[in-house]
Structures are given as structure tokens and as C-alpha cells.
Amino acid sequence: MRLYRYIARKFWGPFFFALGIFTTLVVLGDIFEKMKNLSNGTTTVWDLLAYAACTFPNWLTTIMPVACLLGAISVISEMVANGEWTACVAGGFAPKQLFKPIISCILVVVAGTMLVQEFIVPSLNLKADQIYYTRIKPAIGFNPNVENDVVIKISPYQMLFAKQVDIAKGIMQRVSFDTYNEQWNISTQLIAQKMIWNAEQQHWILQNGIERTFLSDMDTTEESFTHKVAPFATAPQHMAVSKAEDKLLSIRDLTTKIRFYGQSGLAHYAAETTRQSKLATPFVTVVMCLLGMPFAISTRRKSKILNIIMSLVIAFAFWWLISMVTSMGQNGYMNPYLAGWGPVLLFSAAVWAEFKWLKL
């Protein structure tokens, strides 16, 4: 319908305006904060610009819900101020019908945002970390793929200890496999200088080590070996021991991490909370916009400042609640699913009550 296309076209101007302004402010603030490192002898202006370019998509996806909200409120308030809203309602259109083209635009933005978050942001965040810890604030021996002092529970009575794990290369250094009996007394121990993943045969190979058997508290036997198949078959791509923060991982990476932690007997409520929060993000954006759009109908004059203030108040209320429950979920004080979806359910109920009260 021509009216729907007209309303949809009006959405994109305020949306891109808000997206450009807010993202620019955030990125510039981040750059200025890191300009203090220009005097360290390793950082250059080019490093700061490269870092900003890598973090830009992440900031873009963060600001996207506010831009959608501002775009939606601006369209409605402008139609109200110009008398177009009244004319449409008088012509038989219900407010819900006039909301549809705006929601359609928001859904397009949400779909694009999810794709960027899933397939672009994680790799660029990794590149940003590399620039930051090698050029802007150098850290000795920084390698995002290497984790030190890793402990993995292989089975109910078997543990793997590794001094250093390089997932990208499929190498573990100074490895120990400890097997315990039902009383949790150690029964056997495999110690190796190195463990390497054999991609062709799909197993780990222990190199240059000893196999120790504990016959009693005072009696043990030892047998040296050069190569030995390890009692551990999880492929490197299915492991999650990198330094990357959960919030910077894709949903696929978080799923791998949760599965790996579950197999290892490790707590994974923090990763699960982050995954559920990411899955709920599209609904958060839509619900946030539905909550703010009816307020714009009561705005009788066109005011961009008022629209911006209204958008920020609603957005910060959302973010405050989401941050609070997410923190509770990540620290084990709330069920991860409730922490991820609770704000969506709560504000969905608020939207339903708002539409019922305003008879929209």
C-alpha cells in the first residue's frame, strides 16, 4: 500500500541520523580515551584509527536499538504534528495498522544487526584486541588463542591439566592426565611435555612423557613413552579456552563453549546468560520501540530534542534492567533463561497494558 511505503520511507532519515550521531560520539570518545597512549613510543594515530575501525561495527550494533526507537518516535510525532496522523485515523486506519510499516523497517534493521553480530563483529573484536594489546597497550606474549593453566574434567574421575593451550595450533604444553578412584585417590597419571592434535586420525598424541601407576600410597610404577594416544578426543574447534569475553563471542561460539563446559563439568551459567541475552536482542529492540511509539502520539508539536530525550529515557530504562538481570544471571543468582528473557517478558506485558489502556 502506498501509505505504508510512505511511512516506511519516513523512518530511515531519523534512523540514520540517530545512528550516525550516537555512534560517532561513542567512537570518538573511545578514541580520545586511548589517545593518552600516544606517548608510549609504540602507538601511532594509524593504530588508533585501525582500532576504531575494528570496534565500529560493535558500537554500531549496540546503538542500533536506540536509533530504531528514535526513528519510530520521530515518524509518528512528525505525522501527528503535520496532521497526517489525524487524517489517517479519520480515514479508517487504526493506530496498529500505522505502526506496521515502522515495525517492518525495525525488523529489517534487527535482522541485519544479528547477521553483523554473528558473522562480522567477533572476528573484528579479535583484531581490535590484537591491535590494542600489541600496539596501543602492549602486553608481553599476548596471544588471544593461548590460555594458561587450563583444567578440564574429562570424566567423573579423570582430570586434564595443561600449563598452556594453543587452540589455533592444536597444541598443549606440559600436560597431565590424572585418573582417580571412587575415593578420589589418584590411581594413574599420564604426564607429557606436549600434546598435539592429529587432524587426520582425530585424536590427541602425547609426546615425551611417562605413565605413572599408583599401586599404593608408597608404591608406584613408571613407564616412559615417546608417543602415546591421549585419553581425550575432543577436537580443538570444539573446545573453548580462549581469553575472549563472552559478550564478544558469536552465538555459535557461545554454544560451543557451553557444550564444552558442560562436558567438562564446569559451570557455564555466565555463558548461557550471555547467549540467551543475545538471542533475546531482536525482541528487546521491537518491544522497546512498541513501548515508546504510543508516547509519540501525544506529542502535538514536532520536537527532535523531545524525541531524543524520550528515546534515551526508554532505552536507558531497558539497558539498566537488562544489565542488572544479566549480571545476576552471569553470577549464578538467577536462572540464565530468566535473566536473558525476563526483561523481554516484563516489558512485553507493559506494552500490552499500554496498548490496552490507550485503546490502540
How confident is the model at residue 65, as a pLDDT? 87
Residues 58-68, mean pLDDT to the nearest whole number: 88
3-state secondary structure labels for all residues of 108-135:
HHHHHHHHHHHHCHHHHHHHHHHHHHHH
Percent with pLDDT over 90 in the chain? 15
pLDDT at 70 over 90: no
State residue 193's pLDDT score.
Answer: 94
Residue 192 has pLDDT above 90, yes or no: yes
What are 121-150's pLDDT values in tens digits? 888 988 888 888 888 888 777 777 788 888
Q: Rounded mean pLDDT of 112-127? A: 88
Q: How confident is the model at residue 172 (pLDDT cuts 50, 70, 90)?
A: very high
Measured CA to CA, the distance from residue 225 to residue 36 in angstroms comes to 53
Provide the pLDDT for residue 93.
84
CA distance 150 to 340: 28
Domain boundaries, the chain: 2-136+269-358, 146-239
pLDDT at 304: 58
Q: What is the mean pLDDT of residues 56-71?
A: 88
Contacts of 262 (CB under 8 A, 6+ apart): 268
Considering only residues 303 and 152, tell me which one the structure prediction assigns the higher pLDDT: 152
**pLDDT surpasses 80 at 58:** yes
pLDDT per position as a tens digit, 284-323: 889 888 888 887 776 555 555 666 676 667 777 777 888 8
Give per-residue pLDDT as tens, 21-49.
Answer: 888 888 888 888 888 887 777 788 898 88
pLDDT of residue 73: 86
Q: What is the mean pLDDT of the chain?
A: 84
* pLDDT for the residue 108: 93
User: Which of the two residues, 15 and 269, has the higher pLDDT score?
Assistant: 15
Q: What are 322-343's pLDDT values in tens digits? A: 888 888 888 888 899 999 999 8
Name the residue type at position 64. M
User: For 122-131, 186-195, 241-250, 263-272, which range has the lowest pLDDT when averaged over its residues?
Assistant: 241-250
- DSSP annotation of 136 reads I
What average pLDDT does this structure show over 181-207? 89
pLDDT of residue 310: 67
pTM, 2 dp: 0.77
Helix (H, G, I), strand (E, B) or coil at 100: helix
pLDDT of residue 106: 93
pLDDT grade for 244, boundaries at 50, 70 and 90: low
| Between 242 and 102, the higher pLDDT residue | 102
What percent of the chain lies above the pLDDT cut of 70? 93
3-state secondary structure of 167: coil
pLDDT value at residue 102 = 92
Between 220 and 193, name the one with better pLDDT.
193
- Cell digits of residue 37: 597512549
